[in-house]
Structure 1
Amino acid sequence: MNAYRAKPLSFPWPPLIYGTAVLIALVLTRVYPIPVMNGQSWIPWLVGGALILTAIFLDLWAVKALLDRHTAVLPHRCATCLVTSGPFRYTRNPIYLGYTLVMTGAGLMSLNPWFFIMAILAVAATTLFAVRNEERHLLSRFGFEFERYCRHTTRWI
């Protein structure tokens, strides 16, 4: 199979990576709790909730942009066109950014530092195992058009 027809991923890893990161954060909270000053402030809860709502909006907007162009939403399917509209104008990975914002928001709402640590590790793992393969797939499918898009749009934020 040539590179043009190759799938970006053999399995949709990013949801699994982020789900595992959440589970690890919860386990580490039980095993190695990190004390956090809790001034009974509503500000972390409010900011965390805002991040989660932003993430939901971002993910729905990204899925709509993909569906509007009739291309694959799932990361293990071949792209039929390069989507550069909607949230893809600002970031090449809005859905994964949404996952990261959910983890960060959950960490703020629960005052659990492990969520922040695991969010950073999830971003690194997603970049290593998924994003680079997806980018290689898009480069083989769309060539110069994808290179131009990469020059003008950041990978994450």
Structure 2
Amino acid sequence: MAIDFNTRPNWIPWPPILLIAAGGAAYLLQRGFPTSGLLPDWLMSFGEAVLALGLAFDFWAMGVMFLARTNILPNRGAGRLVTRGPFTLTRNPIYLGNTLLLIGIGLAFSALWFLPLALLAAFLVDRLAIRREEAHLALRFGAEWEAYAAKTPRWLRLPF
């Protein structure tokens, strides 16, 4: 079934499915093949900070989208182009937040299976969702989208 990118970016809400699948697979692998105790305490503490940063990106982006009164579901059409808040740092703050969340869990709990699966999930989100969402946004918002995409990276702009 062909997707009309003018209406919606996707039929399937890939990002939450991939997040849950990666987290579930990592959990099961950790149960079967534990990696606990392999990381020093300082790195586990760093993982807690990464986990918190991931949650902060998720909630900040969702709040900004809610205040802009636009759709947050990845398989529905965008009502507005949101370019403020976390969207000034990345075009995909929720997907970045989800990736950081999984990496943070892996480090904080020395559950190292989360690390490669977080990267795999991010790669799949990029291919199955982000690129389709960008095609949708380009059709819906034209030059406004092009200007925003030209100055804002897909994943992250570091402040230094």
Normalised by the length of structure 1, the TM-score is 0.89
Q: Which residue of 1 aligns with 2:155?
A: 156
Q: Which residue of 2 aligns with 1:12?
A: 13
The answer as to 2:27 corresponding to 1:26 is yes
Alpha-carbon displacement from aligned partner over 1:104-151 (angstroms, at most 9, x marks no partner): 111101212211100110011001111111111000101111111111
Cα distance change, pair 113–70 in 1 and its aligned pair in 2 (3 A): same
Q: Which residue of 1 aligns with 2:43?
A: 44
Percentage of pairs with the same residue: 38
Residue type of the alignment partner of 1:62: A
CA distance in 2, matches of 1:130, 1:3: 12
1:35 Cα deviation after fit? 7.8
CA distance in 2, matches of 1:98, 1:11: 20
Per the alignment, in what secondary structure is the counterpart of residue 121 of structure 1? Answer: helix
Q: How many residues are paired up?
A: 154
Segments of structure 2 that go 5 or more residues without pairing to the other structure are: none
Q: Which residue of 2 aligns with 1:67?
A: 66
Contact residue 36 and residue 109 of structure 2 kept, 8 A: no
Per the alignment, in what secondary structure is the counterpart of residue 113 of structure 1? Answer: coil
Alpha-carbon displacement from aligned partner over 1:49-68 (angstroms, at most 9, x marks no partner): 11111112111110111112
1:31 Cα deviation after fit? 4.2
Segments of structure 1 that go 5 or more residues without pairing to the other structure are: none
Residue type of the alignment partner of 2:84: S
Q: Which residue of 2 aligns with 1:80?
A: 79
The answer as to 2:55 corresponding to 1:56 is yes
Q: Which residue of 1 aligns with 2:143?
A: 144
CA distance in 1, matches of 2:108, 2:60: 24
The answer as to 2:89 corresponding to 1:90 is yes
Residue type of the alignment partner of 1:16: I
